Amino acid sequence: MTNTPRAARFLALASSALAFCGAATASPQSAVELAQQGDDPAWAITEGLTTEIGPRQAATEAEAAARRWALARLAAMGFANVREEQFMMPTWVRGDEEASLTGPFQPQKLHIAALGNSASTGPKGIEGEIVYFASYDALLAAPDAMVKGKIVFIDHQMKAAQDGSGYGQYGRARFTGPNAAAKKGAIATVIRSIGTDNHRVPHTGGTNFEKGVKPIPAGALSNPDADQLVRQWRRVTATPVAGGASPGALRLKLLLTPQNLGQQHSGNIIAEVPGSDPAASPVIIACHLDSWDLATGAIDDAAGCGIITAAAKHVMTAGQPRRTIRLLWAGAEEVGVFGGKAYFEAHGKEKHAVAMESDFGADRVWRVDFKLPDSAKSLADRISAAVAPFGVTRGKYPASGGADVGALIEAGVPAVDLQQDGTRYFDLHHTADDTLDKVDPAQLRQNVVAWTAVLAILANSSDAELP
Ligand SMILES: [Zn+2]
């Protein structure tokens, strides 16, 4: 936030808005000026949602409270057709979680978080011998006999990258590592957190078991705790010095008591800026309202909802766009993109001009990517030129959208991605550390300015460009 007094900022916004009153379509530049000078709805939403609601895991009462909060806030901001679209989904909630290395060295506690869809160990916990795998691929290659009856540990620390590109590769240990271990007869799986920090905060996230595979308990250790486990593993597997005895097997005690609550309600929140041409297909912009339960979900994804909503608000204030802008605050993204799938089921057959999503934190946008029809060549050039002043360069690869608009894009809807700097995103992702203090207001503002520039152009594009 700037230090500009609130009243002065309001006047700047009001006079700027007045200047464009009556214009059929405001120039994209006028919306960008609003984003640069105006009040900061992105911060207000991020601060408000994280402060007044806090953690909001999918299909829990907290997420329902977040939907009520969202409905009230979006209506108060002047959006049209603000509504909730409910759906049902299988719901998993965390219980107690403890892990200890129990031998052959002095017993010691580790910091662990259960993975979504983990089975319970029961209230007494389980204890077993650890078998170490350097990577997910090493686990896949292992014979069943090596794993059967043991607790599988999967190593390999993800490294930070601006584009977050390690997540897909290292993330497999979480996405399907426990499933692979269960198929080989493991009694539990513990992974190194899919994260780039070295703090004692484990990173949770969903894991998935195939149909027919009985889920096993599955958790993630914080990176320093994983380091500790690995040091002990190296000692127990080192060749004993001549005459020395092996210290014995490495053992872990695990208590995880999550519960499956069966089918529960979740929902998407939808709001619109109505376009002046009712025949033109809408622009859809998405974020997700739910968060993991360990923190207040500031960067994942309150900030994303703040960014897309602020951009839509600035475009709306600058003058009615030609196309309708539809905001999707999706429910239940973290636990399996249930909201994105429900939106596609309800609206996938409707025509959408183009899709955008913000779900990669709150740090600055550095690249713009496109997946547009050939008819939109000059549109892409105009967008690239419009964001260039904000330090955003044009990428070489096609836009892929995000999870919640993924089904639409797969079905052929064009996409524009504003890629955020993800260098520190996986320090915080899905941890107890994802809190408001991690959001840098200046970088959040840069997101809003870049988004406003792009959205204003897309929402006023012609049918020849985006049929
Ligand atoms: Zn997210």
Residue with tokens 């800026």: 273
CA distance 129 to 124: 17
Which amino acid does the sequence have at 90? P
433 CA → ligand 1 middle, Å: 14
202 CA → ligand 1 middle, Å: 17
229 CA → ligand 1 middle, Å: 29
In whole angstroms, how far apart are CA 11 and each of 8, 15, 79? 5, 6, 22
198 CA → ligand 1 middle, Å: 21
Instruction: Give the model's pLDDT for residue 25.
Output: 54
133 CA → ligand 1 middle, Å: 28
Instruction: Give the model's pLDDT for residue 73.
Output: 98
Instruction: Give the model's pLDDT for residue 4.
Output: 40
Here the tokens at position 77 are 């901001």
- Helix ranges (H only) for 197-280 are 223-237
6 CA → ligand 1 middle, Å: 31
* H/E segment holding residue 58: none
For the sheet containing 151-154, what is the strand order? 108-110, 97-103, 251-256, 126-133, 151-154, 188-192, 218-221, 112-114
106 CA → ligand 1 middle, Å: 39
3-state secondary structure of 317: helix
Q: Could you report the average pLDDT of every consecutive run of 10 residues in the chain (467 residues)?
A: 39 38 60 84 98 98 98 98 98 98 97 98 98 98 98 94 93 97 98 97 98 98 98 92 84 98 98 97 98 98 98 97 98 98 98 98 98 97 98 96 97 98 98 98 97 98 96
Whether 41 contacts 444, CB under 8 Å: no
DSSP state of 116: B
Whether 12 contacts 37, CB under 8 Å: yes
Instruction: Give the model's pLDDT for residue 16.
Output: 40
CA distance 192 to 230: 10
461 CA → ligand 1 middle, Å: 29
Instruction: Give the model's pLDDT for residue 5.
Output: 41
Instruction: Give the model's pLDDT for residue 29.
Output: 83
Backbone angles phi, psi at 392, to 5 degrees: -110, 125
Residues β-bridged to residue 394: 368
11 CA → ligand 1 middle, Å: 35
248 CA → ligand 1 middle, Å: 42
238 CA → ligand 1 middle, Å: 41
CA distance 113 to 367: 34
DSSP 288-320: E----TTS--IIIIIHHHHHHHHHHHHHHHH--
Here the tokens at position 299 are 């960067």
Sign of the dihedral through C-alpha 439, 363, 223, 332: positive
Instruction: Give the model's pLDDT for residue 246.
Output: 80
92 CA → ligand 1 middle, Å: 18
Instruction: Give the model's pLDDT for residue 34.
Output: 87
Half-sphere exposure of 116 (CA within 13 A, CB side): 22
Half-sphere exposure of 76 (CA within 13 A, CB side): 9
288 CA → ligand 1 middle, Å: 6
Please, what's the b/e burial string for 354-385 (b: 16 or more CB within 10 A of its CB; e: otherwise)?
bbbbbbbbbbbbbbbbbbbeeebeebbebbbe
20 CA → ligand 1 middle, Å: 35
CA angle 222, 223, 226 (to 5 degrees): 90
- Assigned superfamily of 4-91+262-459: Zn peptidases (3.40.630.10)
Instruction: Give the model's pLDDT for residue 229.
Output: 98
Instruction: Give the model's pLDDT for residue 26.
Output: 60
Going from N- to C-terminal start, the domains of the chain cover: 4-91+262-459, 95-257
453 CA → ligand 1 middle, Å: 23
The CATH code of domain 95-257 reads 3.50.30.30
304 CA → ligand 1 middle, Å: 8
Which amino acid does the sequence have at 230? V
360 CA → ligand 1 middle, Å: 6
Residue with tokens 């593993």: 233
The predicted model scores a pTM of 0.93
In whole angstroms, how far apart are CA 267 and each of 164, 218, 288, 341? 28, 27, 11, 11
362 CA → ligand 1 middle, Å: 11
Query: Residue 121: which residues within 8 A CB-CB, separation 6 or more?
Result: 188, 217, 254, 255, 256, 257
359 CA → ligand 1 middle, Å: 5
DSSP state of 53: T
In whole angstroms, how far apart are CA 372 and each of 201, 377, 466? 40, 8, 8
301 CA → ligand 1 middle, Å: 5
303 CA → ligand 1 middle, Å: 10
34 CA → ligand 1 middle, Å: 27
